[in-house]
């Protein structure tokens, strides 16, 4: 009976949320990724799912558009900042409600093109050692293939998996040539996407997607968008530098 009651609730959740995890990664050191944000989605106070994001302004978190939550009147959306373990946030962590979800107008759900979204918070985060902003690249700035970047994220709690990890994990991944992802995914578009992954297949970010930032030389260059369930290599990231004009335009519209 409980299963039957929960099934309609599960159908209201973002379709890409799942039991995803970092492959071959490691637990991150405390406070090593102070820009990370956990987007929490609560439905009827019973079920909670998470997407990862990162803080780009005191009141704005960036994440993937596929995390967009429908039926806002039935959902409570908030972000947790400064937490290493999202199930047991520390005294210095901050939980702030989300005011607006701003999805890129050209986001395509089927191809994951333009997979980027901004979350305006109801108040500014207090910056400290545990909570910091991360910088964005310049318009059109490229990352050279072979550059080793880092992705962090939480293994997310799933309705069907009660043993999910909740600590922040990280993995180092090299940026690959666009041709690698073009060969693997017919929908890959170099204009708005980046390719990364370790060809040994022993390390990857998440099985499918988890919206963490691909950080190269201290700058958020990518947003983890998708991969293949049975393959850890390669993976596709939304290319942040392609969206700088849109980001700047939207941030000007958002009054703190």
Residue range 174-215, pLDDT digits in tens: 999 999 999 999 999 999 999 998 876 555 454 433 578 999
Active-site pick, 204, 210, 225, 242: 210
Question: What pLDDT was estimated at residue 25?
Answer: 60
Q: Residue 14: name the closest of 67, 61, 50, 63 by CA.
A: 67
| 84 noted as active-site residue | no
**17 or 241: which leads in pLDDT:** 241
**Same-domain pairing of 112 and 12:** yes
- pLDDT tens figures, 218-255: 999 999 999 876 666 889 999 999 999 999 999 999 87
Catalytic hit among 115, 155, 209, 241: 115
Catalytic site includes residue 129: no
CA proximity to 77, closest of 52, 91, 58, 96: 96
What is the span of the domain harbouring residue 214?
148-241
Report which of residues 40 and 133 the model is more confident about. Answer: 133
**C-alpha pair distances (Å), 144 with each of 16, 183, 196, 227:** 29, 19, 11, 21
Same domain, 248 and 128: yes
Domain holding 62: CATH number? Answer: 2.40.10.10
pTM for this prediction: 0.84
Same domain, 12 and 108: yes
- If asked whether residues 109 and 200 sit together in one domain, one would say no
Predicted pLDDT of residue 88: 77
Catalytic residue among 20, 33, 59, 66: 66
Say which residues have a Cβ less than 8 Å from residue 77's Cβ, sequence separation at least 6. 39, 40, 41, 42, 69, 97, 98, 101, 119
DSSP conformation class of 219? E
What is the percent of the chain with per-residue pLDDT over 90, rounded to a whole number? 54
Do strands 47-57 and 36-43 pair parallel, antiparallel, or not at all (unpaired)?
antiparallel
Structure token pair of residue 138:
């310049």
Asked whether the predicted pLDDT for residue 106 surpasses 90, the reply is: yes
Q: What is the pLDDT of residue 249?
A: 97
97 is catalytic: no
3-class SS shares of the chain: helix, strand, coil, % to 5: 15, 40, 45
Do 124 and 248 have their domain in common? yes
Q: How far apart are CA 182 and CA 186, in angstroms?
A: 6
């Amino acid at each position: 009976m409980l299963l039957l009651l929960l099934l309609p609730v599960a159908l209201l959740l973002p379709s890409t949320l799942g039991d995803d995890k970092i492959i071959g990664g490691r637990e991150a050191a405390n406070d090593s990724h102070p820009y990370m944000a956990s987007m929490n989605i609560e439905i009827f106070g019973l079920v909670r799912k998470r997407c990862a994001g990162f803080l780009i302004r005191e009141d704005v978190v960036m994440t993937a558009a596929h995390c967009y939550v429908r039926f806002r009147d039935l959902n409570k959306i908030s972000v947790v900042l400064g937490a290493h373990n999202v199930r047991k946030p520390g005294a210095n962590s901050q939980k702030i409600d989300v005011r607006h979800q701003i999805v890129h107008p050209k986001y395509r759900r089927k191809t994951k093109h333009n997979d980027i979204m901004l979350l305006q918070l109801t108040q500014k985060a207090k910056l400290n050692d545990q909570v910091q902003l991360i910088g964005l690249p310049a318009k059109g700035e490229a990352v050279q293939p072979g550059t080793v970047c880092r992705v962090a994220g939480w293994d997310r709690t799933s309705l069907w998996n009660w043993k999910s990890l909740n600590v922040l994990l990280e993995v180092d991944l090299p940026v690959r040539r666009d041709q690698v992802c073009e060969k693997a995914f017919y929908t890959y578009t170099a204009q708005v996407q980046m390719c990364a992954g370790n060809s040994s297949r022993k390390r990857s970010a998440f099985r499918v997607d988890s919206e963490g930032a691909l950080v190269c030389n201290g700058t958020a260059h990518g947003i983890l968008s998708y991969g293949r369930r049975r393959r850890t290599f390669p993976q596709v990231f939304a290319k942040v530098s392609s969206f700088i004009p849109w980001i700047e335009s939207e941030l000007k519209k958002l009054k703190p």
